[in-house]
Amino acid sequence: MSITLGQAEKMIDAAKKKAVALDTKMNIAIVDAGANLVAFARMDGAWLGSLDISIKKAKTARFFDMNTGVIGELSQPGGPLYNIEHSNNGLITFPGGIPVKNTAGEVIGAIGVSGSSVENDHAVAEAGDAAS
């Protein structure tokens, strides 16, 4: 099973609402179980450089089925995943990417958010995930 377009659109709407509440502008990407882009939104005025980052955060979260911030902790010098960000044509290993699960606990895709502090990116991604 994979994220549907309808689910992805609901996730983007919820993420945008959270971004507005935080007074920030975000790029929001949703990928399916195969890490293929299903939906994307760039809020008016969001950083152009964060467009690619949001997509890579979503893909990274799906490739490894864990939050990108956790991967970042594991990829520090001396860590078990050191230098992993250089694999898969580049990964993003800081917060803002979250795998999305269905009610049975199966990963069906991921959300990636970029455009503000990593704390805000993660909070907006959580809001989108909660709407799945």
pLDDT number for residue 17: 98
Average pLDDT for 58-68? 97
| Residue type (1 letter), 29 | A
pLDDT tens readout for residues 29-50: 999 999 999 999 999 999 999 9
pTM tops 0.85: yes
pLDDT number for residue 105: 95
| Nearest Cα residue to 69 out of 100, 48, 92 | 92
Domain limits, the chain = 5-114+125-130
- Does the pLDDT value for residue 12 go beyond 90? yes
- Does the pLDDT value for residue 1 go beyond 90? no
DSSP letter at 95 equals: S
| Residue type (1 letter), 80 | P
- Does the pLDDT value for residue 129 go beyond 90? yes
Between 127 and 132, the higher pLDDT residue: 127
Average pLDDT for 10-15? 98
CB 96 within 8 A of CB 125: yes
In CATH, what class is 5-114+125-130? Answer: alpha beta
pLDDT number for residue 73: 92
Mean pLDDT of the chain: 96
